């Protein structure tokens, strides 16, 4: 997920209606300052991009009957089998799902799944069984999320998350690994891969699902919509640092109905927004330290920009992008940059997934697996 967890479903309205929305909904007032959402892009802008089958966009919820897609794991099974790893004195939650065929070990590289803002390991419940047919699958809760520690007063940065990923690969996985991330998790993977190039070869491939441009919107200053809102963003940074205001807003954000509306607005396939998904986002938000994590991430520095990092990465890179993403739209600066990469960098493959939102792996896992599995088959094990 993205930093805009507080956005209501109304954010898909055109820019002209934003003022009316701001008058009536306090959550909308906060979230509208985080993002200024554009209208849908023209397909002519991305004619060079390989697109997934357009007809699939109208297909309802994913089921076990789809070819190559195994039933999802139960959230309680994931929670019951998670392990703890102590990193810099903090408990980090992670999950390992062994490959079905033991002979695959040493042939196919392991995978590490990295969630986005507000999400956790269970956000990959629809992907892990299918991916584990050919790979050992690891998934991690970044510090501040899921079942990992949420230390009060901790300064969250993209660089901290990237270092956590590298240390996890070094200490736990101990093999060159394909990193697969969504949103800010994607950006953390990009930073980790760029750093891995400088020392140990801990990363052998990179899969980016609707990659974020920064830890928060202050990174996307090239977008005129963000430029207009920068003074307001800074003002809300100030407000969020007032404990009482932040607590009130966060309490509204984590209510079930509000979370459901947010999820419905960022998913193309509405049937993927089930009660399990709402609880995956809501439950960790009740933990002590969750408010501090929220405020630190929203008000902190945006971190490194993928535009500066990607050209220095020579590993195979697969970019999958849902074309109905209101958080990182394909016609925004980040989306346009990634759309241009296949013609510039030979190691980058890009597929646009039609009718899919900000979290493609959970929104339409069948479309993601259709592109991901053949790509993974060409990544040698180590």
Mean pLDDT on 198-224: 80
Q: For residue 382, is pLDDT > 70?
A: no
Mean pLDDT on 295-318: 92
Task: Supply the pLDDT for residue 223.
Answer: 54
Mean pLDDT on 195-216: 90
Strand pairing class (90-97; 83-87): antiparallel
What percent of the chain is predicted at pLDDT more than 70? 73
Mean pLDDT on 216-241: 60
Of 221, 185, 231, the closest CA to residue 334 belongs to: 221
Count of other CB atoms within 10 angstroms of residue 77: 14
pLDDT class for 59, splitting at 50, 70, 90? very low
Residue that wins the pLDDT comparison between 149 and 234: 149
Topology at the third CATH level for domain 75-378: Rossmann fold (3.40.50)
Q: For residue 231, is pLDDT > 90?
A: no
Task: Supply the pLDDT for residue 302.
Answer: 87
The DSSP element (H or E) to which 91 belongs, if any, is: strand 90-97
**CB of 351 within 8 A of CB of 319?**
yes
- Sign of dihedral through CA atoms 265, 271, 276, 280? negative
- Residues near 342 by Cβ (< 8 Å), separated by ≥ 6? 48, 49, 50, 348, 349, 350
Of 62, 34, 192, 201, the closest CA to residue 114 belongs to: 192
Mean pLDDT on 22-45: 33
pLDDT class for 309, splitting at 50, 70, 90? very high
pLDDT class for 233, splitting at 50, 70, 90? low
What percent of the chain is predicted at pLDDT more than 90? 65
Question: What is the residue-averaged pLDDT of the chain?
Answer: 81
Task: Supply the pLDDT for residue 244.
Answer: 80
Q: For residue 27, is pLDDT > 60?
A: no
Task: Supply the pLDDT for residue 7.
Answer: 35
For 145-201, the pLDDT digits (tens) are 999 999 999 999 999 999 999 999 999 999 999 999 999 999 999 999 999 877 678
CA dist 26 and 338 (Å) reads 34
Task: Supply the pLDDT for residue 239.
Answer: 64
Task: Supply the pLDDT for residue 30.
Answer: 36
- Domains of the chain, residue spans: 75-378
**CB of 188 within 8 A of CB of 339?**
no
Task: Supply the pLDDT for residue 298.
Answer: 87
Tell me if the pTM is above 0.75.
yes
Q: For residue 287, is pLDDT > 70?
A: yes
- Residues near 142 by Cβ (< 8 Å), separated by ≥ 6? 114, 115, 148, 161, 164, 185, 188
Q: For residue 277, is pLDDT > 50?
A: yes
- Residues near 374 by Cβ (< 8 Å), separated by ≥ 6? none
For 345-359, the pLDDT digits (tens) are 999 999 999 999 999
Task: Supply the pLDDT for residue 144.
Answer: 98
Task: Supply the pLDDT for residue 236.
Answer: 58
DSSP state of 71: P
Order of all β-strands in the sheet with 83-87: 50-51, 348-353, 317-322, 203-209, 177-182, 111-114, 137-140, 90-97, 83-87
Task: Supply the pLDDT for residue 26.
Answer: 34
Task: Supply the pLDDT for residue 248.
Answer: 84
CA dist 349 and 8 (Å) reads 33
């Amino acid at each position: 997920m993205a930093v805009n967890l507080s956005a209501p479903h109304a954010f898909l309205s055109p820019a002209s209606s934003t003022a009316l929305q701001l008058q009536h909904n306090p959550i909308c007032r906060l979230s509208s300052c985080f993002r200024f959402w554009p209208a849908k892009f023209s397909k002519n802008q991305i004619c060079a991009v390989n697109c997934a089958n357009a007809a699939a966009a109208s297909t309802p919820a994913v089921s076990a009957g789809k070819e190559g897609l195994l039933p999802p794991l139960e959230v309680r099974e994931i929670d019951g089998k998670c392990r703890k790893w102590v990193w810099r004195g903090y408990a980090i939650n992670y999950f390992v799902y062994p490959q079905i065929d033991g002979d695959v070990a040493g042939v196919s590289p392991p995978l590490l799944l990295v969630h986005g803002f507000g999400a956790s390991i269970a956000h990959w419940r629809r992907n892990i069984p299918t991916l584990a047919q050919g790979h050992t699958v690891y998934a991690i809760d970044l510090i501040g999320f899921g079942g990992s520690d949420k230390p009060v007063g901790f300064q969250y940065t993209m660089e901290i998350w990237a270092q956590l990923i590298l240390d996890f690969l070094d200490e736990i996985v101990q093999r060159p690994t394909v990193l697969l991330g969504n949103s800010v998790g994607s950006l953390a993977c990009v930073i980790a891969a760029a750093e891995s190039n400088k020392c140990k070869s801990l990363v052998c491939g990179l899969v980016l699902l609707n990659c974020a441009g920064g830890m928060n919107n202050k990174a996307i200053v090239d977008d005129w919509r963000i430029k207009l809102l920068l003074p307001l963003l800074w003002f809300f940074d100030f407000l969020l640092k007032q404990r009482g205001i932040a607590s009130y807003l966060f309490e509204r954000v984590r209510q079930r109905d509000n979370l459901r509306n947010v999820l419905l607005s960022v998913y193309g396939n509405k049937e993927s927004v089930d009660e399990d998904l709402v609880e995956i986002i809501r439950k960790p938000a009740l933990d002590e330290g969750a408010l501090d994590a929220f405020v630190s991430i929203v008000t902190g520095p945006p971190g490194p920009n993928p535009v500066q990092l990607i050209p220095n990465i020579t590993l195979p890179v697969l970019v999958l992008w849902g074309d109905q993403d209101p958080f990182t739209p394909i016609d925004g600066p980040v989306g346009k940059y990634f759309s241009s990469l296949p013609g510039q960098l030979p190691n980058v493959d890009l597929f646009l997934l039609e009718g899919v939102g900000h979290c493609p792996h959970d929104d339409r896992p069948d479309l993601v697996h259709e592109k991901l599995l053949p790509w993974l088959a060409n990544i040698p094990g180590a």
